[in-house]
Amino acid sequence: MAKRYWNINLEEMLEAGVHFGHGTRKWNPRMAPYISAKRKGIHITNLTRTARFLSEACDLVFDAASKGKQFLIVGTKNKAADSVARAAIRARCHYVKKNGSVFRDLRTEQKTGGLNRLPKRDAAMLKRQLSHLQTYLGGIKYMTRLPDIVIIVDQQEEYTALRECITLGIPTICLIDTNSDPDLADISIPANDDAIASIRLILNKLVVAICEGRSSYIRNP
């Protein structure tokens, strides 16, 4: 896999607050190699390492996209959800920004005609719930097979999704903060997973790489 230049700028990451970790009492010792300092009770992430792993992740998704591979982006917490949806739509990826267990139950009821057997008031309420959930889960309604790579925003929040990917053998790229385990994902990108600007910056770099890879695939199918 050839290395490319992705315009990953340390100053830009500083401005986005990518370097701010969690409080020093709330950390995973395995993150020690990715932490450069402590400041006012919080850990500071080593942005040189962030840039290195982000660059590796960009190379990976570019290579995959240039071969027509499919991606799923997962980020369900409020601070990440909108950025996840925008990034996925821009890169033509599948995405999940809310938990979908209730969604599956409602879809089953709708497909089997269960809603038609309910009182009108109850059916109307369930249909409103279905519409609301579709807003969040619409990003996977056209996914007909398992994705080739899953991008996860916040390892702690999406731990179940990460474990499922590991079980299924799906490669993962994970945005991890100082309270995470860097050894679980195939590529872990140490970064602030609470600041919207930080999440958006990381996703934007990955999206650019995916889009360039897709363009290469279209030109050389």
Q: Does 145 fall in a domain? A: yes
Domain presence at residue 10: no
How far is 80 from 200, CA to CA, in rounded Å? 8
| Tokens 């994705």 sit on residue | 147
How far, in Å, CA of 166 to CA of 185, rounded?
8
Domain of 148, in residue numbers: 46-100+140-219
* Dihedral over Cα of 184, 158, 69, 93: its sign: negative
Angle between helices 47-65 and 196-219 (to 10 degrees): 30
| Single-letter amino acid, residue 148 | D
Q: Report if pTM > 0.95.
A: no
Is residue 115 a part of any domain in this protein? no
Q: Is residue 40 part of a domain?
A: no
Question: Where residue 70 sits, what CATH number does that domain have?
Answer: 3.40.50.10490
pLDDT tens for the chain, 221 residues: list them: 666 778 899 999 999 999 999 999 889 999 999 999 999 899 999 999 999 999 999 999 999 999 999 999 999 888 888 899 899 999 999 888 765 443 344 444 445 555 455 567 766 665 565 554 454 445 555 566 788 999 999 998 899 889 888 988 999 999 999 999 999 999 999 999 999 999 999 999 999 999 999 998 766 65
The two tokens of residue 134 are 């579709």
Q: Does 144 fall in a domain? A: yes
3-class state of residue 190 by DSSP? strand
Query: Which residues partner with 152 through β-bridges?
Result: 74, 174
Round to whole Å and give the CA distance between 82 and 135: 11
Residue 111: CB atoms within 10 A of its CB come to 9
- The beta strand positions in 18-115, using DSSP E, are 20-23, 35-39, 42-45, 71-74, 94-96
Domain count, the chain: 1
Identity at 62, one-letter amino acid code? F
